[in-house]
Amino acid sequence: MKKQKRLSMRKIREILRLYFECNLSYRAINRSVKASVSRCYDYVQIFKSKGLTWPLPEEYTDEVLEEIFRPKKQYKKKKAIPDWSEIHIDNKKKGMTLFLLWQEYRETNPDGYGYTNFCSYYKKYVKTQEYSLRQVHKGGDKLFVDYTGHKVPIHNLNSTDIKYVEIFVSCLGASQYTYAEATWTQQLDDWISSHINAFEFFKGVPQCVVPDNLKSGVTKACRYDPDVNPTYQELAKHYGTAIVPTRSGKPKDKSKVESSVYLVERWILAALRNYKFYTITSLNQKIKELLFKLNRRDFKKMSGNRHLLYEEVDLPALQPLPEKRYELCRWLINKTVHVDYHVEIEQHYYSVPYTHVGKKIDVRLTSKMVEFFFNGSRIASHIRNRKKWHHSTIEAHRPKSHQEYLKWTPARILNWAEKTGENCKKLAAKVMKSRSYPEQGFRTILGILRLSKTHSAEELEKACQIALTLKSYRYSTVKNILQNKANIFNREAKKQNPFVTTKHENIRGETYYQLKEDKYAYRTNIDEDGATKTIWND
């Protein structure tokens, strides 16, 4: 029997966090991480049975937790569920029958439903299409977020350029208390900043946030197991909330915010249609004024308004804001550690312990720091440096007696370069001398040596000689010289002997202007007094 697919350690940690820190029920955790209630319960019970306490110590890496939470149960493989919406559409086509649709289903799923069960489940699906589930939201439970499809123009004072900005909208489920703001884009930085501003506007944090499946929030959309953006997940961890993405293509999952989007477009954006804005700050100030009026507009079918309902139902139930505001960060996943034990981040090289050479690590970027993680544990951190093509190296990260790394020594690199020629060896020595540590030049030298695969050793040796003359000890310099070798090599040859010319049939040669026996030929005589006399032929 095929084993059930394991959850990643990141999701298991999220289950434990939501249970112990957020005090969520197993069903609420199920909606957040898209794992079954029983699996959430099993992981929590295993955690308790091992006598562990939350938060986990740093020594409990993903490898240690993998041994603790290794699943023991095996579940029977479920039968493939047909896409009833497609079947329902196809069944309406002329000449189509359920039996034919069932045959097509069984061709791709031999172990699927029989014809009787197929028809039975299809009839149940058809009956559900005429009804809509009315959702009941508790105070402080959910915050729905989305963007409007309407964009607002921002004009440039000094030109006719126009930029269109996005409108972020969020609302609480119970009171539908609404927040809106303008942002330049829907990218990650603006997406995270809008959430922080929304939490501060609502003066608290809900139990969970329900976003759409845009890339800034959900890296990989899936109905059953979506992958939340690591930065977005870290925001939720900082504020003690959970991320519960909607199903793809199911707007009813966030009907509250769809309604708020409609209200913002009707009562705010429509009211601003005749305004001309030159800064996004002035636009947000006007949105804030109209938002104040919107939240205090009386309901039509019940007494009160959104603001009163928010103060009565949502505000008391919201979690308090953390003492420290979330610092925006960005995650880079699966970065490879190079042979020189450095990782390139935004055209700058940062060192990590040399024992991680060749491994995949995760990088966390903030405005001031760069942190490196392997299997969930931090292995290095640096102050962020924005100098391009420079190195930030910690002495403790350099290798001492690692046998594998000892193969890469300056002496061995020079021996390889010497096989090409003396100029290549000199250039390799200059490259290593120009770096803080010789190892930082290994990659440049190896790139230069690999050029011998596409060029002859003589050409590479000549290119290295020219690079030494130019005092440019970079891979790109040697590569450009070889790519333009015809022009550069000829230019160098002319510098050494400017009178040497290439011989071919179109060159007239030095004898072209010798005396000829015709009426235009002449010769020059010098008499005894040193005077020059020209004598033309008759």
pLDDT in tens, 184-197: 998 888 999 999 99
Q: What is the DSSP string of 425-477?
A: HHHHHHHHHTSSSGGGGHHHHHHHHHGGGTS-HHHHHHHHHHHHHHT---HHH
Percent pLDDT > 70 in the chain is 80
Backbone angles phi, psi at 176, to 5 degrees: 55, 30
pLDDT at 228: 80
pLDDT at 395: 82
- What's at 76, amino acid-wise? K
pLDDT at 158: 85
pTM more than 0.95: no
Rounded to whole angstroms, how far apart are CA atoms 437 and 395? 10
- Nearest in space to 231 (alpha carbons), one of 219, 220, 221, 240: 219
- Nearest in space to 217 (alpha carbons), one of 234, 229, 231: 229
pLDDT at 404: 47
Q: How many C-alpha atoms does 430 have within 13 Å on its Cβ side?
A: 18
pLDDT at 508: 61
pLDDT at 224: 56
Q: Write b or e for each residue in 214-231: b if 16 or more Cβ atoms lie within 10 A of its Cβ, otherwise e.
A: bebbbbebeeeebbbbbb
Residue ranges, the chain, pLDDT below 70: 1-6, 70-77, 89, 92-95, 129-137, 219-225, 249-254, 301-302, 400-408, 486-538
- What's at 483, amino acid-wise? Q
Own/partner pairs, 428-431, CB within 8 angstroms, 24+ separation: 430/468, 430/473, 431/473
pLDDT at 321: 93
**Cβ proximity of 165 and 154 under 8 Å:** yes
pLDDT at 537: 52
Rounded to whole angstroms, how far apart are CA atoms 48 and 35? 19
pLDDT at 132: 47
Show Cβ contacts of residue 465 under 8 Å, excluding neighbours closer than 6 positions: 423
Rounded to whole angstroms, how far apart are CA atoms 258 and 135? 14
Number of H helices, E strands in the chain: 19, 17
Rounded to whole angstroms, how far apart are CA atoms 341 and 353? 7
Q: How far apart, in Å, do the first and last CA atoms of the chain sit?
A: 114
